[in-house]
Amino acid sequence: VCPETQAEIDQFMKSFRKLDLHFKIIGKTGEGTFSSVYKAIDLRYDRYVNDWDLDERTAEYHSPRSKRQRLSHGKEKKAKYVAIKKIYVTSSPQRIHNELELLKDLTGSKNVVSLITAFRHMDQVIAVMPYFRHVDFRDYFRKLDIPEIQLYMRSLFTALKFVHAKGVLHRDIKPTNFLYDCSKGRGVLVDFGLAERESDDGTCCCLGTAEISRRDLKNHSPLLGGYPKNDQRPSKRANRAGTRGFRAPEVLFKCNAQTTKIDIWSAGVILLTFLSKRFPFFNSPDDIDAIIEMATVFGRAKMRICAALHGATFETAIPTITEKGHSLGRIVEWATARGKDNPLHPEEKTALQFLEATLELNHQRRLSADQALRHPFLAQIVP
């Protein structure tokens, strides 16, 4: 631990009353927008771990027992590591409550992190979860072969199936929120800070429309006569929480009836990253640019239809955005410099079919997590 981090840890331990009776922090494992996460030993899980004995009654430490004595107790001596998520006090109480509540509800899947306990001291809240060993995404995303990608995706979609079956949208699926251990082929979904329960009070024209044809588009396009001057219509608002580059098209088009399918899109973006070996694949700072990025791949025609599905309009004069766009297969070939001498393997083609079904602009036609697990790309994978 570097001196700055140690100072931060000491400060945290000092400010949080009695935390040192429960945990010994041994390092920092992550820092997000809304939290710092520390790796710690749970002192109560195995009172010998720290070589000090904690008297539960008086909450005092006693001198270490001899090793022989400890072994004769026959207890498991494995350290129990936990991740302590210190949620920044600038987060609203509702937000913190929401995260803890959802975590509590989502116990029961080996691919979703569980909540051990939570503490509050003054305005500071911490969540304690099992520590999950993982590798930084940037260190492995270029190296995984197709069977390894299948294992990763199987783990991720298993987590999503579980979360979605509970009626919860994660809203922030991305590599830093899916902790993956390459050696075990297992991943755990974390960070329910933006998650929400699926609701049916939202309104959007996509609710009444399954498909929009080109003819519908001609008849309904509100902008056929050009862009309105002094547009008096109230601007559309929708939940757009998430991370740049991973937002589904319906989030960008401000759909007010967003479903669990937004997570499937983001998982598709992760797969696109693996196959194209580019990270981040999409990287626009704002939603309009993100729509343009998307249009560069999918083309104007599909973007117009997708926009209309959510009552929006898509038009652009950018010459590099073609009418038909490009297939994801071509994108992957370009990104990985494929040619006649190193064409895509058949297993990569199955991966591409799966990719297309997850990066489907129309969320109603996009795979669900359950369907994804039954797709040929994932169905045969045994973790």
What residues are labeled active site? 172
- Burial class from Cβ neighbours inside 10 Å (0-12, 13-18, 19+) for residue 35 reads buried
Are 310 and 254 contacting, i.e. CB atoms less than 8 angstroms apart?
Answer: yes
Pick one of ligand ADP, Mg ion, none as the site partner of residue 175 (Cβ within 5 to 8 A by kind).
none
Footprint (CB under 6 A) of ligand ADP, residues 192-221: 193
Instruction: Kindly tell me which of 33 and 283 has the beta carbon lying closer to ligand ADP.
Output: 33
Using CB under 6 A, which of 45, 119, 132, 140 touches ligand ADP? 132
Q: How far is the CB of 188 from Mg ion (least distance, A)?
A: 13
Q: Is 262 exposed, middle or buried (0-12, 13-18, 19+ CB in 10 A)?
A: buried
Tell me the residue type at 183. Answer: S
Site size for ligand ADP (CB under 6 A): 19
Q: Does an H or E element contain 24, and which?
A: strand 23-31
Element at 23 (helix H, strand E) = strand 23-31
Site residues (CB under 6 A) for ligand ADP, limited to 27-86:
29-30, 32-35, 37, 83, 85
Q: Which residues contact 137 (CB under 8 A, 6 or more apart)?
A: 175, 176, 180, 279
Interface with Mg ion by CB under 5 A: which range of 8-16, 70-78, 172-180, 217-225? 172-180
**Chosen residue from 177, 260, 273, 358 binding Mg ion by CB under 5 A:** 177
Comparison of 42 and 191: residue with beta carbon closer to ligand ADP: 191
Measured from the CB of residue 99, what is the shortest distance to ligand ADP in angstroms?
Answer: 8
Shortest Cβ distance from residue 185 to ligand ADP (Å)?
A: 17
Measured CA to CA, the distance from residue 294 to residue 306 in angstroms comes to: 11
E strands along 88-230, which residues? 117-121, 124-130, 168-169, 178-181, 186-189, 196-197
Is residue 137 near ligand ADP by the rule CB under 6 A? no
Q: Tell me which amino acid residue 223 is.
A: L
**Chosen from ligand ADP, Mg ion, none, partner binding at 263 (C-beta under 5 to 8 Å by type):** none
Per rule CB under 5 A, is residue 32 in the interface with Mg ion?
A: yes
| Of positions 40, 96, 100, 129, contacts ligand ADP by CB under 6 A | 129
Among Mg ion, ligand ADP, none, the one that 83 touches (CB under a kind-dependent 5 to 8 A) is ligand ADP
Strand partners, 42: 23
Distances (CA, A) of 171 to 13, 70, 120, 260: 31, 46, 26, 8
- In the three-class reduction of DSSP (H, G, I as helix; E, B as strand; rest coil), residue 125 is classed as strand
Rounded distance between C-alpha atoms, residue 36 and residue 80, angstroms: 20
The number of residues that bind Mg ion (CB under 5 A) is 3
Task: Tell me how far, at minimum, the Cβ of 35 lies from ligand ADP, in Å.
Answer: 4
> How remote is the C-alpha of 266 from its chain's centroid?
7
Among 177, 258, 273, 358, binds ligand ADP (CB under 6 A): 177
Can you tell me which of 42, 99, 191, 360 binds Mg ion, judged by CB under 5 A? 191
CB-based burial label for 365 (10 Å; 0-12, 13-18, 19+): exposed
Q: Is the CB of 83 or the CB of 331 nearer to ligand ADP? A: 83
Residues within the interface to Mg ion (CB under 5 A): 32, 177, 191
Residues within the interface to ligand ADP (CB under 6 A): 29-30, 32-35, 37, 83, 85, 113, 129, 131-132, 176-177, 179, 190-191, 193
